Amino acid sequence: MLAALLAVVRRDLLLALRRRSDMVTTAFFFIIVVSLFPLGVGAEPDLLRTLAPGIVWVSALLASMLALGRLFAADHADGTLEQMLLSSEPLSVIVIGKVLAHWLVSGLPLVLLSPLLAIQFDLPGQSIAVLVASLLLGTPVLSLIGAIGAALTLGLRGGGALVSLLVLPLYIPVLIFGAGAVGAEASGIGASSHLLLLGGGLAAALVLTPWATSTALRIALE
């Protein structure tokens, strides 16, 4: 199963490298949205430091949703997804591989860009470290939950808008704990409880979402 998972990840990464424009679009969307807020709200340092966690997290959430449509669409269009369902390997393993590759392409760049973008909000070093940690724990949860919505809307006309409506309510707890971790650190309470909750959410998503996504894919292809 590990060999199958690595093969799926390698395949999807190679395909993503051939479509670099998709990778660049997500990163540029994140950069532009985060960078526009300081221009809109002004240059007051205290205000920027207060708003920074929510702005970065909302931008990461929207950028993650922007990339969901590419998760299964190409494989569905060329018939590869049907062959994956007929594979001897568990479909949940294939789903984990595809979600991992999707996160490496669309989620990890957001995590790597966040420290640079957080500087323009005048965040202290410790708060930036907590922000990166919260994104590192939270963005995989966004990809895992988003995979369920992408599978449920596979092949539907206007699926991009529908998947946003499906997954957005499920994203709200991740957004609250992710942005709250930085606020708790800045207030002196400590971010450990928020990060532990994000870690627990990631563990739960790793267990539950591959099964739910596999079921949704089977329903979509029947």
Q: What is the pTM of this model?
A: 0.89
Q: Give just the sign of the alpha carbon dihedral 176, 182, 186, 191.
A: positive
Residue position matching structure tokens 């895992």:
144
Distance CA 60, CA 26 (A): 9
For residue 101, count CB atoms less than 10 angstroms from its CB and return exposed for 0-12, middle for 13-18, buried for 19 or more.
buried
Residue 125: the pLDDT is 87
Residue 159: the pLDDT is 62
Distance CA 167, CA 165 (A): 6
Contact 180, 98 (CB under 8 A): no
Tokens of 107: 């989620």
pLDDT above 70: percentage of residues in the chain: 98
Residue 18: the pLDDT is 83
Query: What band does 130 get if pLDDT is binned at 50, 70 and 90?
Result: very high
Long-range contacts of 115-120 (CB under 8 A, 24+ apart): 117/30, 117/31, 117/34, 117/35, 117/56, 118/52, 118/56, 120/35, 120/38, 120/48
Tokens of 20: 């670099």
Contact 174, 138 (CB under 8 A): yes
70 pLDDT higher than 80: no
**Least confident stretch, 34-38, 153-157, 169-173, 218-222:** 153-157
CB proximity list for 123: less than 8 A, separation 6 or greater: 49, 52, 131, 182
Distance CA 74, CA 89 (A): 21
